Structure 1
Amino acid sequence: MRIIPAIDLIDGKCVRLYQGDFSKTTQVGSEPEAQLAEFIGDGAEIIHIVDLDGARHGEARQYELIERLCKQSSVPIQVGGGIRSMVTVKKLIDAGASRLVLGTAALEDETFLQEALNSYADNIVIGIDAKNGKVATRGWETVSEVNYIDFARKMEEKGAKTIVFTDISRDGTMSGPNLEALKELSQAVSCKIVASGGIKDNNNLQQLEEIGIEEAIVGKAIYDGKVTLGGFQGDR
């Protein structure tokens, strides 16, 4: 199990949302550069950075900050939020990002998605954010009628190799991940599944490992000291 600490950014600050609600935002941790250094010092092997301004408004809003963080980092950086054009994809890859998470664009712009997968297959990750089993987009503020399993199968057909799955109702709640949905997803596709949302402690990480999940993005539980990067003793 590889723990991926999350740095969510709004207006240059590290924040956490509650169930994806932008009206329930809490500033956490240090300034982004200091938080990144702290995670690396604690042993992070990869770090997840989300431009929440970009996710909400449909364009990369904090590119300069993310570029600085990529250049500062000695470990791979996974970036999400507002990545909806090949120009943005190339800029972020050139800035040093190792993985790019496509969410809204994966659902709404098949031409762009296919071009991104064709050009950067090893760097593209599909973000599936679900609410009651339906895929949500645009910073989680719009919920489609598309079932998350059907969407995952379609993404695999198009060449996706990795999927980050977030149950929005669990995100920021520390109520535990949606193990049932994650198990169904991992059985439905052969992509690597990265769990996100609701992870509260090392027991949750063990549960994820038992159903075959190899990586988990953890936010609030790390900031609250419930999960430590060096504290999980599962297989790594």
Structure 2
Amino acid sequence: MIIYPAMDLKDGKCVRLYQGEFSSSQVVADDPVSTALKFKEAGSEYIHMVDLDGALKGNVKNLEIITMVIERVKLPIQLGGGIRDINTIEALIKAGISRVILGTAALNNPDLVKEAVKKFGDKIAVGIDARDGFVAIEGWVKLSKVNYIDFGKKMEEIGVKTIIFTDISKDGTLTGPNFEATGLLNESVSCDIIASGGIKDIEDIKILTSMNLHGAITGKAIYSKTISLEEAIKVGRGV
């Protein structure tokens, strides 16, 4: 299982939210480049980034910093947040993003996902962010009436290879992931599932690894030092 250390960008800095609430944002690191370099030193093979400003505004806002991280750190990066059209997807991939995550756009505009998958294949991932089993959109501000499993199956039919699943009620809480909901999605679709939200310690990583998931995203636990990224990577690799 791949461990994806997370960097959420707001106003050019790394922040963490609590249950997706923008008003709860706390700066956890001023310099995204040095933070990403620390992830690399710990053995990370992939970084998960979210442009929070982009998620709220509907277009990418922190591209300059993201590009700097790509150039300096030289690790693959998956990016989500405010990516709503094919031109933006193309520009990000040209800028060096390894995997583009579609969230709100995937729900509101499935034709965009079809076009993107047709054009860019496994460079396209879909983020399913759910609360009480229903998909949330627009920076998690609105809740749809779409069940997260049904949505996952629809994305699978389109040809999406990677799904990032987040239980919003767990995100940034350090209370453990929603193992049940994550496991159910993993059993329901053939896509690679990346678990996100709530990871607190190495025991959570061990459980997620045993569930045969593709990956797990951890952010707050790294910054709060309740988890050693180095150890988590080793557990994920089965070392």
Shared fold (TM-score greater than 0.5)? yes
Supply the RMSD in Å over aligned alpha carbons.
1.0
How far apart, CA to CA, are the structure 2 residues paired with 1:2 and 1:187?
18
* CA-CA distance at 1:103 after TM superposition: 0.4
Q: Which moved more, 1:7-16 or 1:21-30?
A: 21-30
* CA-CA distance at 1:30 after TM superposition: 3.9
Question: Partner letter of residue 141 of structure 1?
Answer: V
Question: Partner letter of residue 178 of structure 2?
Answer: N
- What corresponds to 2:175 in structure 1? 175
* CA-CA distance at 1:41 after TM superposition: 1.4
Whether the aligned pair in 2 keeps the contact of 1:130 and 1:148 (CA below 8 Å) is: yes
* CA-CA distance at 1:29 after TM superposition: 2.5
- What corresponds to 1:103 in structure 2? 103
Structure 2 gaps, min length 5: none
Q: Which moved more, 1:225-234 or 1:213-222?
A: 225-234
How far apart, CA to CA, are the structure 2 residues paired with 1:211 and 1:69?
31
- What corresponds to 1:78 in structure 2? 78
Matching of residues 84-233 of structure 1 within 5 Å: 84-232=84-232, 233=234
Whether the aligned pair in 2 keeps the contact of 1:136 and 1:144 (CA below 8 Å) is: yes
* CA-CA distance at 1:37 after TM superposition: 1.1
Whether the aligned pair in 2 keeps the contact of 1:197 and 1:218 (CA below 8 Å) is: yes
* CA-CA distance at 1:73 after TM superposition: 2.2
- What corresponds to 1:5 in structure 2? 5
Question: Partner letter of residue 94 of structure 1?
Answer: K
Q: Which moved more, 1:27-36 or 1:77-86?
A: 27-36
How far apart, CA to CA, are the structure 2 residues paired with 1:196 and 1:141?
18
How far apart, CA to CA, are the structure 1 residues paired with 2:114 and 2:65?
28
How far apart, CA to CA, are the structure 1 residues paired with 2:111 and 2:214?
30
Whether the aligned pair in 1 keeps the contact of 2:194 and 2:213 (CA below 8 Å) is: yes
TM-score, with length taken from structure 1: 0.97
Structure 1 gaps, min length 5: none
How far apart, CA to CA, are the structure 2 residues paired with 1:79 and 1:106?
14
What secondary structure, in the 3-state scheme, does the structure 2 residue paired with 1:217 have?
A: strand
* CA-CA distance at 1:235 after TM superposition: 5.1
Whether the aligned pair in 2 keeps the contact of 1:36 and 1:69 (CA below 8 Å) is: yes
Change (3 A) 1:90 1:200: same
Whether the aligned pair in 1 keeps the contact of 2:10 and 2:53 (CA below 8 Å) is: yes
- What corresponds to 2:235 in structure 1? 234
Question: Partner letter of residue 132 of structure 2?
Answer: N
1:47 and 2:47 matched: yes
* CA-CA distance at 1:96 after TM superposition: 0.6
* CA-CA distance at 1:49 after TM superposition: 0.9
How far apart, CA to CA, are the structure 2 residues paired with 1:52 and 1:196?
16
TM-score, with length taken from structure 2: 0.96
Whether the aligned pair in 2 keeps the contact of 1:49 and 1:78 (CA below 8 Å) is: yes
Question: Partner letter of residue 169 of structure 1?
Answer: S
Q: What percent of counterpart residues are identical?
A: 50
Runs of 4+, deviation exceeding 4 Å: none
- What corresponds to 1:32 in structure 2? 32
Change (3 A) 1:118 1:35: same
Whether the aligned pair in 1 keeps the contact of 2:54 and 2:81 (CA below 8 Å) is: yes
* CA-CA distance at 1:122 after TM superposition: 1.4
How far apart, CA to CA, are the structure 2 residues paired with 1:90 and 1:71?
18
- What corresponds to 2:56 in structure 1? 56
